[in-house]
Structure 1
Amino acid sequence: MEVIRLSEGEATKSGAQHGTAVAALLIGASDSRVPGLLPGAELIAVDAFQRSGKSADIANIYDLVRALDMLVQRDVKVVNLSLTGPANAVLEKSVKAATESGMILVAAAGNDGPNAKPVYPAAYDEVIAVTAVDKGRNPYRRAVRGDYIDIAAPGVGVWTAASISGARQKTGTSFAAPFITAAVSVLIAGDPDMSHESLEAKIRQFTDDIGKPGKDPVFGWGLLNASRLCESISDTKPSAL
């Protein structure tokens, strides 16, 4: 795993808990209690955040755009965006440029509540928006809902790294997104040039429609069926993240 920090100075260093938990879900560690969804996969983590106050981490649009551009230059095919914010024209343009280059963006749907306004980058058309469900297939009570929701994945009480060491349960759409990021990586392993439309059609084959028939604002196309996906691609290898 390679970590790239965009900001300089120890005073502005972002917290490690959130990013470590997401990274652990994706690639884990063979000698830990969190083996990861794609153990051994190549992961590049770009830290575009800075600490604000005692516990909040924030990122400005300039750094988010720099991060995306950096990953485009590195020819990264799949990007996990466990972050949310308001709409921004500059970010929207950057997202479009990234996806036009062939990059697949997967983002958390947001935890502002079911009646909240759409959050970004998940709500951009080019991005796969992921919501969270619990082990009973019920929607996470704080997950944002809307027509932009594409797919659901486990995100309530997910076991992952707590910070630098140890593990605990985590809840939120940020922790559902890595499940879809891993699935996308596996799906495009055999066809790196797969279009966004083809990928969407492909991943829909591995979802269980658990809401209203068809796409709905709570679960999108449905809940990812990881078991069926793994059975179908047991002979392939994941793409670089």
Structure 2
Amino acid sequence: MRADPDTWIVGAVPNAASAKVAGRFATHHIGLRGTGGYTVARSQARAFANALKAKHLLVYAQANVLRKTLSMPDDPLSGPPNNWRATVADPSLMPPPVTPQSPLIALVDAAADMTHPEWTGDPNVATLPGTPVDNPHGTATMSVAVAPQNGIGILGVWPGARALNVPLKTSPGTDGEITCAESGDGIAKAVANGASVINMSYGSPSRCAAEWVQIYFAVAKGIIPVAAAGNEFEDGNPLEFPASLPHVVTVAATTPQDKSAEFSNANDAVDLSAPGVDIMTAVPPALPDPDKAQDGYSLQSGTSFSAPMVSAAIAWVRAARPDLTPDRVVQAIRLGARDVAKPGWDPLTGFGVLNVGNSLNLPADKLPIPDPLEPNDNIVWVKGKLFNGKRAPAIWSGGAPKRLNALLDEQEDPVDVYRIVIAGGKSAKVSVIPRFGDPSLEVFNSSAIGVSDEAGRVAVSEHAGSKKTERVTVKNTGTSSHSYYVAVKPQGDSRYQEREYTLRVG
């Protein structure tokens, strides 16, 4: 894998003891307080990890892998008049008025040129200072999302919306690539600056644990992450990260003819599509223009430019439909897409091409139910070992039975884990009632490290069939109260990725 040769990433339980160990080494904390990722010189990485491991504080260690922007600036394109915006948002639709309270779109990207004429008269765009403008990508993605209506240049999906460019420093000696740690820090800055939506038009076939933690930290705060699916379909079609992580809205690219772009990655993670071929973008006039015209604008192609269209649409729907929870906003965007391939979802275009009007008008009773307590995709997230440093609240600790309704999705939300507390000598009856699809039920003790840890599993119910309730009884044979972890997973062969169920404990 491609990685920074000088640094390594080590993840620790986020607490004071880990910070004390980190203080003995030349480390840099990644992201926000409450998460435990550190970069450290490669020569010190093993010693740092061993010091944490000796105190049972080590969570992960990995190379500081590189990500790259998902545009194709080296392949200038030309084509017919650029009318992509009308494809995703009817010109008759009036966006909500922009106020200081409007949702903020954070674009984690190369530094944007805020002196560009495109931003004339626009008070709602900004960049975090300190990073030079040396790449056109950040300016281009922000212009596609929010370029204002001012008689200059182009229109973004939500013209004049609040947007913050979060610049990423490129790794020396690379073609504009960024490290895993830099991505994690950028996402953290977006969270810290009040983002409602985070756009990530970059990726890598390598997973980045530090990036993953920051994204899940954002999801826990109600922030919606969006990422470009990738441009490598003709080069093996690999899974790209962060796009392929659960809870990330993954955006593929389509042509002006509503076909999947030949370069656009296709896989089970794709949620929807947006135009991504011959997209007119603003680019820094002082840099070499990708199409050689040197006029501050350029036609570009890539999923990099599809993703910010969806990010802007999500912010628009959040502003217009504040009654919807963040996960239901995502559902409105997905299910409101205009189907362009075979009926229903497909791995090339997802649910179809972005359609803001459909998403704004889709009745709430046509959307799936709210999905509570996310992200809870494994025991480690609920135990607090990756952020917050403390366990999630127990959904039941004795007394009256507790019921909750929730969702699963094999790609976007593959497991749901809930903590319960059983008093010494007492039992808990746990059941999962299918509402749609076929879920299974497992319960783990507090020593389990994940939902694949069979040694820590104390009960399981896996009856085949979407109408069969799963039931187990768990007894705490000790004398003091203990935490147990209830895991609900999808099972069975189904053409649908989704599951809906009711969990009952007590």
TM range, smaller chain: 0.7 to 0.9
Partners of 2:238 and 2:326 in 1: how far apart? 25
For 1:69-218, list aligned pairs within 5 A. Answer: 69-85=188-204, 86-113=206-233, 115-164=236-285, 166-192=296-322, 194-218=324-348
Q: Which residue of 1 aligns with 2:100?
A: none
Partners of 1:36 and 1:102 in 2: how far apart? 24
| CA separation of 1:96 and 1:21: change in aligned 2, threshold 3 A | same
Partners of 1:96 and 1:146 in 2: how far apart? 21
**1:25 equivalent in alignment to 2:149:** no
| CA separation of 1:6 and 1:192: change in aligned 2, threshold 3 A | farther
Partner secondary structure for residue 137 of structure 1? coil
Q: Quick check: 183-192 or 169-178, which moved more? A: 183-192
Partners of 2:322 and 2:187 in 1: how far apart? 18
Query: Structure 1-normalised TM-score?
Result: 0.85
Q: Which residue of 1 aligns with 2:118?
A: none
Partner secondary structure for residue 319 of structure 2? coil
Q: Which residue of 1 aligns with 2:128?
A: 4
Identity of aligned residues (%): 27
Alpha-carbon RMSD: 2.2
Q: Which 5+ residue runs of structure 2 have no aligned equivalent?
A: 1-124, 286-294, 363-506
Q: Which 5+ residue runs of structure 1 have no aligned equivalent?
A: 8-12, 234-241
Higher-RCO chain (CA-CA 8 Å, sequence separation at least 6): 1
For 1:60-75, list aligned pairs within 5 A. Answer: 60-75=179-194
Partners of 1:116 and 1:5 in 2: how far apart? 36
Q: Which residue of 2 aligns with 1:238?
A: none
The letter for the 2-side match of 1:116 is: N
Partners of 2:156 and 2:251 in 1: how far apart? 18
Deviation at 1:84, TM superposition (A): 0.9
Structure holding more helix per residue: 1
Partner secondary structure for residue 130 of structure 1? strand
Partners of 2:359 and 2:212 in 1: how far apart? 31
| CA separation of 1:76 and 1:166: change in aligned 2, threshold 3 A | same
Partner secondary structure for residue 180 of structure 1? helix
Partner secondary structure for residue 200 of structure 1? helix
- Greater CA radius of gyration, 1 or 2? 2
Q: Which residue of 2 aligns with 1:45?
A: 165
Would you identify which runs of 4 or more consecutive aligned residues in structure 1 move more than 6 Å?
none
Is the contact made by 2:333 and 2:356 (CA closer than 8 Å) also made in structure 1?
Answer: no
- Note the alpha carbon deviations across 1:58-95, whole angstroms, 9 max, x for none: 22222221221122122210111111122112211111
Is the contact made by 2:256 and 2:275 (CA closer than 8 Å) also made in structure 1?
Answer: yes
Partner secondary structure for residue 50 of structure 1? coil
Is the contact made by 2:341 and 2:352 (CA closer than 8 Å) also made in structure 1?
Answer: yes
Partners of 1:52 and 1:142 in 2: how far apart? 27
Q: Quick check: 159-168 or 191-200, which moved more? A: 191-200
- Note the alpha carbon deviations across 1:100-122, whole angstroms, 9 max, x for none: 11111111000112542110111
Deviation at 1:39, TM superposition (A): 2.0
Query: Structure 2-normalised TM-score?
Result: 0.42
Partners of 1:176 and 1:117 in 2: how far apart? 18
Partners of 1:213 and 1:27 in 2: how far apart? 31
Q: How many residues align?
A: 226
